[in-house]
Amino acid sequence: MDVEVRLFATLRRGRFDRRPQPVADGCRLEELIRQLAIDPKEIAIRLVNGREAEIDHVLQPGDVVSLFPAVGGG
């Protein structure tokens, strides 16, 4: 199945902004992050379809996964 991965801020460096990503059925968020070769420590905020998700969240086909480093402002 495919999910859409969106990366932001410093996570984009040397990677990509957004792309479809093939993953195995029943793939958990942490497995996807490993597959993308991103150090989990670099990620501060994980959203699946705009909602905060734990690392053991099981992905569904077509899910939009948005990953952010620590960000702030205002």
Partner 1 sequence: MHGYRGQVLRVNLTTGQIKKETLDLQTAQKFIGGRGLGSYLLSKEIQPTVDALSPENKIFIVTGPLTGSPAPTPGRYMVVTKSPLTGTIACSNSGGFWGPELKNAGYDLIVLEGRAPKPMYLFIKDETVELRDATKYWGKLVSETTTQLLADVREPQARVLCIGPAGEKQSLIAAVMNDKCRAAGRSGVGGVMGSKNLKAIVVRGTGKVALAAPEKTKELLAILARKIKDNGVTGQGLPTYGTAVLVNIINEAGMYPTRNFQQSYFPTANKASGEALADEYLTKRVACFRCPIACGRECEVGEEKGEGPEYETLWAYSANCGVDKLDDVIRANNLCNEYGLDTISAGATIACAMELAEKGYIKPSEVNGPALKFGSSEAIIEWTRKMGAGEGLGAKLAQGSYRLAASYGVPELSMSVKKQELPAYDPRGAKGMALQYATSNRGGCHVRGYLISPEVLGLPEKIDRFATAGKATWAKAFQDLTAVIDSLGLCLFTSFALNADDYRDLLNAIVGVNWTKEEMFTAGERIWNLERVFNLAAGIKPEEDTLPKRLLHDPITEGGSKGHVAQLAEMLPAYYQERGWTPQGIPTKEKLAALAL
With CB under 8 A as the contact rule, the residue among 14, 37, 39, 51 that binds partner 1 is: 51
With CB under 8 A as the contact rule, the residue among 24, 45, 55, 58 that binds partner 1 is: 45
Q: Which is nearer to partner 1, 25 or 52 (CB)?
A: 52
Examine residue 66 and tell whether it contacts partner 1 (CB under 8 A).
yes
Q: Does an H or E element contain 47, and which? A: strand 45-48
CA distances from 74 to 20, 66, 71 (A): 31, 20, 10
Q: Which amino acid is at 17?
A: D
Examine residue 15 and tell whether it contacts partner 1 (CB under 8 A).
no
Q: Which tokens is 12 given?
A: 């984009």
Beta bridge partners of 22: 2
Positions in the binding site for partner 1 (CB under 8 A): 6, 8-10, 12, 17, 44-45, 47, 49-52, 66, 68-74
